[in-house]
Chains A and B, each alone.
Chain A
Amino acid sequence: MDLFMELLKTFVVGGIICSIGQILLDRTKLTGGRIMVLFLLAGAVLTALGLYEPLVNFAGAGATVPISGFGYALVKGAIEEVGKEGFMGAFSGGIKATSAGITAAIVFGYMAALLSNPKSKS
């Protein structure tokens, strides 16, 4: 039952974040690429203000899987690294914390593209 509640929280929070994105897509002239950047920055700013961490604790992947969670991981990583390493931590912390995701996207992305072809829509 606990697990079910965990997953339900994830579903609802992740769903709400995505539907905010959909409203922006439908109601403004913003395109997908810009919305991704917007959510990333929103996640980064909220994390810096200490507001995103509670959401992550509450909803887990519901807050970390949306691209705002990428902003959260970057900023959290940078702040933690500053605490450990001092000033240079600001430069190494963000990418270090997210390196697995970025590298996975590059490597899997390149491999998938190598092995497949786009298909026409008709």
Chain B
Amino acid sequence: MGHTGKQTIVFKNPPVITCAYSSAGPKESAGPLGDYFDNQLQDELLGQETWEKAESILIKQTVQGLLNKADKRPEDIQYLFAGDLQNQVIASTFGLKDFNIPFFGLYGACSTMGESMCLASIMVAGGMADLVMAGTSSHNCAAEKQFRFPLEYAGQRTLTQQWTATASGFVLISRCGKGPKIEAVTPGKIVDLGIKDSFNMGAAMAPAAVDTILAHLEDTNQKPSDFDAIITGDLGNCGSDIAVDIANKLGVDLSKVMNDCGKLIYDDESQDTHCGGSGCGCSGSVFAGYLYKQLLKRNLKKILLIPTGALMSPGSTQQGNTIPGVAHAVSIVMD
């Protein structure tokens, strides 16, 4: 079928997610989804000297874990789409360089899992490749250092703040094979409703998530109830509420099917994360660890995954810019 409606691609030969692998840091492993993560880390530094290097090792372990689980060698993977939150996606560079897989480095902030899955599935469905890898990562301490305050700084986190997950998720997208299929993708637009508060990322991203969900539903002529779950990336508690509210104002009721990876990954009360989780690795690991397994067990048969990203840099917010959001939808079915 190909390009459908305004911004959706529906696949005639839906690519298959044949394997998925997730890694999660100590805090994430102690959370409600802890047991679902394939690789549960004890040490947030992963034996490295710096947080940045730790994130690269996190990526390396996740990709190696995925290869082992799928019984593949790096040579079998034709292309690799990945990205992270560090400047110039440098964590991916150092984590992936030894695999010698042709590499597309992506920056979509926390929407990277959606962006990489969209591009990888388009490449496979378009007949350009048979086996492509997609994934992402984030590291709490590396992100704090780059975007916020030093770890030992005596500041208070606001109640709307979310916790950047130390986690990574990678998937294998194949032309054929067994597993959940990617039926359609809807790449999102950059949506900006003027939010400037970098401590309320959920509010910055919620409009982008709703925009992409509505575009996907309209382009594919579906209703929210056609899905078992519509799962956003990392809007967190506050952002999810806002998303349901504004979708409602636009005439679409998402309240019955909507959930959010950032809401699922932590127990906010006992883990003191405030407004849920965030970071590329949040949606990456929750999909590759939890949702993928639910699809395999057929507890979920059709989901819309919408990783959400807040597009900002420390400089852009200091200069008083708004924080636009972006969100990419991936429609996944299990026969």
Contact = CB atoms under 8 A, between A and B. Distances in A.
A120 B44 contact: yes
Contacts, number: 29
What bracket does the count of chain B residues touching chain A fall in? Answer: 10 to 19
Interface in A1-49: 25, 29, 31-32
Contacts of B156: 25
A118 interface: yes
B141 interface: yes
Contacts of A32: 149, 153, 155
A29 B51 CA distance: 29
Interface string B229-271: 0000000000000000000000000000000000000000000
Chief secondary structure at chain A's binding surface: loop
Interface string A106-122: 00000000000011111
Interface in A50-86: none
A120 B140 contact: yes
B151 A122 contact: no
A118 B151 contact: yes
A122 B197 contact: no
A13 to B, nearest CB: 21
A122 B27 contact: yes
A121 B140 CA distance: 9
A118 B166 contact: no
Contacts of A122: 25-27, 30, 44, 140, 166
A29 B317 CA distance: 13
A120 B151 contact: yes
A119 B151 contact: yes
B45 interface: yes
Nearest to A119: B151
Q: Which of B25, B140, B152, B153 has the most chain A CB within a 10 Å cutoff?
A: B152
Nearest to B25: A122
Interface string B126-150: 0000000000000011000000011
A32 B197 CA distance: 15
Contact of A121 (B30, B45, B151): B151
A71 to B, nearest CB: 20
Contacts of A31: 155
Contacts of A119: 151-152
Nearest to B27: A122
Interface string B22-50: 00011100100000000000001100000
Contacts of B153: 32
A19 to B, nearest CB: 14
A106 to B, nearest CB: 17
B135 to A, nearest CB: 22
Given A118-B151, A122-B26, A29 B140 contact: no
A120 B141 contact: yes
A6 B30 CA distance: 48
Interface of B: 25-27, 30, 44-45, 51, 140-141, 149-153, 155-156, 166, 197
Given A118-B152, A120-B141, A122-B30, 9 more contacts: A32-B149, A32-B155, A118-B150, A118-B151, A119-B151, A120-B45, A120-B151, A121-B151, A122-B140
The 4 residue pairs across chains A and B that have the minimum distance between CB atoms: A122-B27, A118-B151, A120-B44, A118-B152
7 contacts: A32-B153, A118-B152, A122-B25, A122-B26, A122-B27, A122-B140, A122-B166
